[in-house]
Every structure is written in structure tokens, then in C-alpha cells.
């Protein structure tokens, strides 16, 4: 199985796929991709092969796959995802991005809001269905070349009335998944509800952290049309109107403190930020401060077309088209922007608020930052001097100039790069032990030993083979001595 896997990866690095997140190592930038954006009109249409920059994310999440009540995984959009029957083959295109950046990890995200909670609850409550789900996950990962699974059950013990013990069954599901994925070195991550009131209903946090490589906390959707007053989607700090125990939970700072207080390791805790805002119809256009009354969801984005939600790319284009109509403002307590025009109001993110969130995450020495979702950034550079202004800013905060340098330095020549060479470099030959060996003279070269046979590999320039994670890695993170 290992040998077949090695031969089918058209990459120079054969990864162990284990994530060892130390504070001194590179921070995670985890990017979700909503696959339905392929159907958006005009400049909102998103193509995974040409519009994703694989150097701006450490992990890419393919969202979403579904789950059936018998435990099988479900391909939600076979025409888009697969190549069968003249399909568009987006899964293959998505995972082929690792040919450009061999340090990139891709994960299959299962669930999401629209998939609901009921089917997860049914599967998690039944050991046989859990086993079937694990088998289905492993088969999907191996068939399509993902590096792991992201479990996005929204949310255990909520949104259904089955009477199952979801809080305990969620742990059982994670345990079974870990036991099924770990022998292959696959990653297991989860997207989880953020606020204390919700998290206490759904999660035994110390137990779930035993099995997860990364905990992606969705620190957004903290205010919306379900509130009586307009509010910011993802405040950094509490606001002046947050005068109850519950409302003081509705900000990134409180969320981080809660998850840390429950024992979440810093090197597993990743905080999600939104690349979209929430819009409202003001009840009175003359009352437009945070906390003003509203009558419901506001304008949709011109591409996403969902009332009450607007992507950063859609909003910045709207501001460009109507520069004299929108009033842009800033909440000094919550450290986030908002804007209003006539009876329309929107709380959103811009480069300043994203930078402040990234600074906070770095100051807390957390594992990194997660974004929902990359197709809502200004990925064409219509409003900015460059593509992906928000995502590039995050990378600059997390990694400095490392990503930009790598983009310039990596030479990708798939046709001329020798993946497996029949000649042994420096006449190296494997002993009786199986595993990986790095070349003593060239830090970019390594060997895979399998039952006495020797297979030679070389990392794409300028990457080096990292013996600690058994993968090609950035030069400044590898000790070649």
C-alpha cells in the first residue's frame, strides 16, 4: 500500500502527514473553499485550478462532502467534483495544487450548516455506522489524494430532537476516526462552534482535543438577523452594549480565553475569521450606530446572492461603484468596521480589522488562523493592487516574507523532475530496515526503503527534506546538520 501511494503521488515529497505544531514552527493558515462558488456569475465565478494560490494557505479544505444515515460519505455535486460522465473534476484539480506547493495539505471537509445535525447524530450513536463512516472516509482520502478529514458537524446536541447523547457520541466518533486515520498518517481536524454557551452544549473539550490535530474555532456569525439590533459579525473585543454574561461571550477575545481555559492546547487552537459581512435593513435610517434596531436581512452580495450576507469582494466593489453613498465607520471598542447607506447597514472585515485579529492570535501564540472562505476575498484584485489582499495580509502577519520568497524561488517543472530514479545517488542502498533516510550530502534528497528496495526522491528547490516530519519543508524550518 505504501509503495503504491508513493508511485501515484506526482510530488517530490512523500509526506508522513503528521502535524507537529510547535510555536517556533510555521503557523497554520487554513483556508476553506466553498465549492458552489464555481457557479457564481461574472467576476464572482471561482475556478480551483486558476484562482487558488497554493502558497497562501498551509491547509486547503474542500467544502463540502455529505453524510448518509447509514454512515456512507456522500458526494454532494458529482458533476462538479468528479470526472465521471464528463464531470468537471474539481477534486482532482484541487489536490493537484500540491504539485505546485509540496508543503500544502488538502483535507475533505464533511458537513457544514446545510448538511444539518440529524444524520451525524444517527451515525455517531451507532458503533457499526461509525465504523462504516470511518471506512468511507479512508476510501475517499485514498481514492482522491487528500491528506485528511475535517469534521464539520454543526452542531452536536443541537438542531434536532432525536434524544441521542451527542456530546458523548461525538467523542466516540472522533476516537474511531483517529484510530482509522492515524495508521495512514492522515490528519483529523474539526470545525467547531465558538461561543461558550453553544460549546458547552456540544463538546467535552479536553476529550475532543485528545483526538484532533487541529481545532478550527468558528469565531464568526456572532451577530446576525436573529438579533433584535444590528451587530458586527466577528468583533475582536466586547462592545459598550455588551452588558450581560452572554453578550460578553460574543467576541474573539472571549472565545479564545474560553477555549484555552478548557484545556485546548495552544498548538492545536486555530481561530476562524470571516471574509464576509452581515447586512441588515435599518428600521430607521437615522439610527445607524451598532445596536440600532433593524427589520431583517439586508442586501445580498451581487455574486453570492444570499440576503443578509455579502463577501468582502462584493462589498469592496460596491464601495467602489457607490463611493459617495456609503458612510464607512469604525467601532473603537470592538475594533471592527461597519458601513451604512440609506436603510442598509453592514458589519464586515477589512484589512485593518483582519490585521488586528492576526496580531492577537500571534500574541497568544496560537496554532494559526482559519478563513471562511477564500472565494470571498478580493481574489481577482479588482479593489486592490494585488490578488487576495486579506489572505496576503494574514500570511504577512503569520510568516513575514516567507511565502512571497517561496513563490519566487520554487521552480516547478513536473516533466523534467525525476520522481523515481533507477540509479542510486552516491550508490546509497537501503539496509534491512524500512523507512525514510535523508542524503548525507544533499539536504534536499531523500530515500524510501521498502523491503530492501531503494527509491530516490528530491524536494523541489528551495525546499529541504525535514527528517522530523518526513516531508519537504521550508529551508528555515529544517536543520540540515
Q: 115 in helix, strand or coil?
A: helix
- Same domain? 157 vs 270: yes
Q: How far apart are CA 210 and CA 301, in angstroms?
A: 40
CATH of the domain at 450: 2.170.140.10
Q: Domains in the chain: how many in total? A: 2
- Same domain? 253 vs 369: yes
- Same domain? 178 vs 248: yes
Buried/exposed 344-368: b ≥16 CB within 10 Å, e otherwise: bbbbbbbeebbebbbebbeeeebbb
Before 339, cis peptide (omega within 30)? no
Tens-digit pLDDT profile for the chain (481 aa)?
A: 333 334 333 333 333 333 333 334 689 999 999 999 999 999 999 999 999 999 999 999 999 999 999 999 999 999 999 998 899 999 999 999 999 998 999 999 999 999 999 999 999 999 999 999 999 999 999 999 999 999 999 999 999 999 999 999 999 999 999 999 999 999 999 999 999 999 999 999 999 999 999 999 999 999 999 999 999 999 999 999 899 999 999 999 999 999 999 999 999 999 999 999 999 999 999 999 999 999 999 999 999 999 999 999 999 999 999 999 999 999 999 999 999 999 999 999 999 999 999 999 999 999 999 999 999 999 999 999 999 999 999 999 999 865 555 555 444 433 222 222 323 334 667 776 777 788 888 888 877 776 666 767 777 667 788 877 677 777 777 888 8
Q: Which of 128, 223, 231, 181 is nearest to 17 (CA)?
A: 181
Q: Which of 150, 161, 52 is nearest to 97 (CA)?
A: 52
- Same domain? 50 vs 105: yes
- Same domain? 103 vs 163: yes
Question: pTM of the full predicted structure?
Answer: 0.82
Question: Which residues have a catalytic role annotated?
Answer: 154
Q: How far apart are CA 176 and CA 47, in angstroms?
A: 35
Q: Which of 374, 363, 425, 362 is nearest to 399 (CA)?
A: 362
Number of helices and strands (H, E) in the chain?
14, 20
- Same domain? 164 vs 267: yes
- Domain end, chosen from 341, 364, 399, is at 399
- Domain end, chosen from 364, 383, 399, is at 399
- Same domain? 110 vs 190: yes
Does residue 142 fall inside a structural domain?
A: yes
Residue 122, CA distances (Å) to 156, 161, 169, 204 in order:
11, 11, 10, 19
Does residue 139 fall inside a structural domain?
A: yes
In sign, the C-alpha dihedral spanning 99, 104, 107, 109 is negative
- Same domain? 167 vs 263: yes
Q: How far apart are CA 368 and CA 27, in angstroms?
A: 5
Does residue 305 fall inside a structural domain?
A: no
Task: Please give the sequence-ordered ranges of beta strands (E in DSSP) within 43-138, or none if there are none.
Answer: 59-67, 73-74, 105-111
Buried/exposed 454-464: b ≥16 CB within 10 Å, e otherwise: bbbbbbbeebb
User: In angstroms, what is the C-alpha Rg of the chain?
Assistant: 23
Does residue 317 fall inside a structural domain?
A: no
- Same domain? 94 vs 196: yes
Nine cell digits for residue 469: 516530519
Does residue 149 fall inside a structural domain?
A: yes
Count of residues for the chain? 481
Task: Please give the sequence-ordered ranges of beta strands (E in DSSP) within 344-431, or none if there are none.
Answer: 344-347, 368-372
Which structural domain range is residue 114 located in?
28-274+350-399
- Same domain? 429 vs 394: no
Q: How far apart are CA 148 and CA 107, in angstroms?
A: 5
Residue 81, CA distances (Å) to 37, 89, 366 in order:
13, 5, 33
Nine cell digits for residue 394: 494574514
- Same domain? 94 vs 176: yes
Q: Which DSSP string corresponds to 163-189?
A: ---HHHHHHHHHHHHHHHHGGGT-EEE
- Same domain? 371 vs 443: no
CATH of the domain at 71: 3.20.20.80
Nine cell digits for residue 66: 455529505
Amino acid at each position: 500500500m505504501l509503495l503504491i501511494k508513493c508511485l501515484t503521488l506526482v510530488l517530490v515529497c512523500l509526506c508522513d502527514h503528521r502535524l507537529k505544531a510547535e510555536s517556533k514552527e510555521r503557523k497554520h493558515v487554513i483556508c476553506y473553499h466553498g465549492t458552489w462558488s464555481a457557479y457564481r456569475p461574472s467576476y464572482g465565478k471561482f475556478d480551483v485550478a486558476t484562482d487558488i494560490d497554493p502558497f497562501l494557505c498551509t491547509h486547503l479544505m474542500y467544502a463540502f462532502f455529505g453524510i448518509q444515515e447509514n454512515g456512507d460519505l456522500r458526494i454532494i455535486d458529482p458533476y462538479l467534483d468528479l470526472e465521471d460522465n464528463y464531470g468537471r473534476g474539481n477534486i482532482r484539480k484541487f489536490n493537484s495544487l500540491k504539485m505546485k506547493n509540496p508543503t500544502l495539505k488538502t483535507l475533505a471537509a464533511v458537513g457544514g450548516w446545510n448538511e444539518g445535525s440529524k444524520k451525524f447524530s444517527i451515525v455517531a450513536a451507532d458503533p457499526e455506522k461509525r465504523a462504516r463512516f470511518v471506512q468511507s472516509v479512508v476510501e475517499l482520502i485514498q481514492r482522491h489524494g487528500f491528506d485528511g478529514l475535517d469534521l464539520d458537524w454543526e452542531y452536536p446536541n443541537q438542531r434536532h430532537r432525536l434524544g441521542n447523547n451527542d456530546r458523548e457520541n461525538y467523542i466516540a466518533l472522533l476516537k474511531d476516526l483517529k484510530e482509522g486515520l492515524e495508521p495512514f498518517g492522515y490528519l483529523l481536524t474539526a470545525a467547531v462552534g465558538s461561543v461558550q454557551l453553544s460549546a458547552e452544549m456540544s463538546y467535552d473539550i479536553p476529550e475532543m482535543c485528545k483526538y484532533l490535530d487541529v481545532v478550527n474555532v468558528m469565531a464568526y456569525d456572532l451577530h446576525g438577523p436573529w438579533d433584535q439590533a444590528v451587530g458586527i459579525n466577528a468583533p475582536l473585543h466586547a462592545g459598550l452594549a455588551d452588558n450581560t454574561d452572554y453578550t460578553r461571550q460574543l467576541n474573539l477575545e472571549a472565545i479564545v480565553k474560553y477555549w484555552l481555559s478548557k484545556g485546548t492546547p495552544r498548538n492545536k487552537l486555530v481561530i476562524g475569521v470571516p471574509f464576509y459581512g452581515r447586512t441588515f435593513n435599518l428600521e430607521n435610517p437615522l439610527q445607524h450606530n451598532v445596536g440600532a434596531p433593524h427589520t431583517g436581512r439586508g442586501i445580498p452580495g451581487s455574486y453570492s446572492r444570499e440576503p443578509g450576507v455579502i463577501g468582502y469582494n462584493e462589498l469592496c466593489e460596491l464601495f467602489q461603484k457607490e463611493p459617495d453613498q456609503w458612510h464607512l465607520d469604525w467601532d473603537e471598542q470592538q475594533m471592527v468596521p461597519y458601513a451604512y447607506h440609506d436603510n442598509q447597514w453592514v458589519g464586515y472585515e477589512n484589512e485593518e480589522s483582519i490585521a488586528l485579529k492576526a496580531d492577537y492570535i500571534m500574541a497568544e501564540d496560537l496554532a494559526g488562523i482559519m478563513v471562511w472562505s477564500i472565494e470571498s476575498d478580493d481574489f481577482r484584485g479588482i479593489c486592490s493592487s494585488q490578488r487576495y489582499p486579506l489572505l496576503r495580509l494574514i500570511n504577512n502577519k503569520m510568516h513575514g516574507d516567507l511565502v512571497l520568497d517561496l513563490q519566487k524561488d520554487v521552480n516547478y517543472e513536473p516533466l523534467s523532475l525525476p520522481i523515481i530514479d533507477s540509479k542510486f545517488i552516491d550508490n546509497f542502498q537501503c539496509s534491512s530496515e524500512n523507512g525514510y533516510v535523508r542524503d548525507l550530502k544533499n539536504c534536499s534528497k531523500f530515500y524510501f526503503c521498502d523491503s530492501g528496495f531503494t527509491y530516490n526522491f528530491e524536494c523541489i528547490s528551495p525546499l529541504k527534506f525535514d527528517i522530523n516530519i518526513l516531508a519537504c519543508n521550508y529551508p528555515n524550518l529544517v536543520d540540515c546538520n
